[in-house]
């Protein structure tokens, strides 16, 4: 008998429907915290530097480029690290580990801001690969649907959140938005609710 084409059926973790709903709700909250933070940072970092330090646009954009490079490197290495130490651990370290640096960032001098933004970019971006694979492992028989949810929700909520915070920045100032932005990363503690499927 010929097997039908498509994704092979893989036995996934034995989780109940409520456990799966909770796990995906937590994943959604983690994606919200990570992508709203990063998209807001990418969109308004130059304005923050100009407002806070009186920098020229070219200088501020150069520092933004350094941050984006850190994000790219963190994303690249997040997957292999997750394979080595476990994806749930990477999610923990990535979002919660970036929190102290993100809280401190708006209150230090220029060189401190640059150094902390690199650390935040490296650490926070390493979670994405781990979140995608972890979500796929929850429902390995529906990898396409899960991947679509993760990617679609991540980039959609990031863009909407950045736009909303940009509107708030028009009212209260970019400095105040960056002061409050790091509070999103407290959602990383919800990782404790994710089932250990590894």
Assign 3-class secondary structure to 119-160: HHHHHHHCHHHHHHHHHHHHCHHHHHHHHHHHHHHHHHHHHH
How high is the pLDDT of residue 170?
87
Give per-residue pLDDT as tens, 36-47. 999 999 999 999
Angle value at C-alpha 31, between 162 and 112, nearest 5 degrees? 65
Contact 68, 171 (CB under 8 A): no
Of the CA atoms within 13 Å of residue 165, those in its CB half-sphere come to 30
Give per-residue pLDDT as tens, 133-187. 888 888 888 888 888 888 888 888 888 988 898 889 888 888 888 888 999 999 9
The CA distances from residue 62 to 46, 66, 109, 171, 173, in Å, are 9, 7, 17, 27, 22
Average pLDDT, the chain: 87
Query: pLDDT-based confidence at 4, cuts 50/70/90?
Result: very low
DSSP code for 105: G
Delineate the domains of the chain, giving CATH numbers in brackets.
Answer: 17-188 (1.20.1250.20)
Contact 119, 54 (CB under 8 A): no
The DSSP H or E segment spanning 74 is helix 57-85
The CA distances from residue 177 to 35, 113, 146, 192, in Å, are 15, 15, 32, 27
Rounded distance between C-alpha atoms, residue 57 and residue 49, angstroms: 9
Give per-residue pLDDT as tens, 41-93. 999 999 999 989 999 999 999 999 999 999 999 989 888 888 888 888 888 88
Q: Which pair of tokens denotes residue 193? A: 């609710």
Rg (CA), the chain: 18
Rounded distance between C-alpha atoms, residue 27 and residue 182, angstroms: 18
């Amino acid at each position: 008998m010929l097997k039908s084409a498509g994704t092979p059926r893989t036995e996934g973790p034995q989780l109940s429907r409520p456990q799966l709903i909770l796990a995906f709700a937590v994943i959604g909250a983690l994606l919200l915290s990570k992508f709203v933070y990063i998209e807001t940072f990418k969109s308004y970092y130059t304005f923050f530097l100009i407002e806070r330090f009186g920098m020229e646009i070219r200088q501020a954009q150069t520092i933004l480029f350094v941050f984006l490079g850190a994000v790219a490197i963190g994303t690249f290495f997040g997957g292999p690290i997750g394979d080595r130490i476990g994806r749930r651990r990477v999610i923990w370290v990535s979002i919660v580990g970036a929190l102290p640096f993100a809280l401190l960032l708006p209150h230090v001098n220029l060189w401190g801001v640059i150094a902390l933004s690199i650390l935040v970019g490296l650490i926070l971006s390493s979670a994405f690969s781990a979140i995608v694979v972890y979500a796929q492992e929850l429902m390995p028989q529906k990898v396409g649907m899960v991947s679509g949810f993760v990617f679609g929700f991540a980039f959609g909520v990031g863009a909407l959140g950045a736009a909303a915070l940009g509107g708030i920045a028009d009212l209260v100032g970019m400095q105040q938005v960056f002061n409050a932005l790091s509070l999103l990363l407290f959602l990383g503690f919800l990782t404790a609710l994710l089932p250990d499927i590894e």
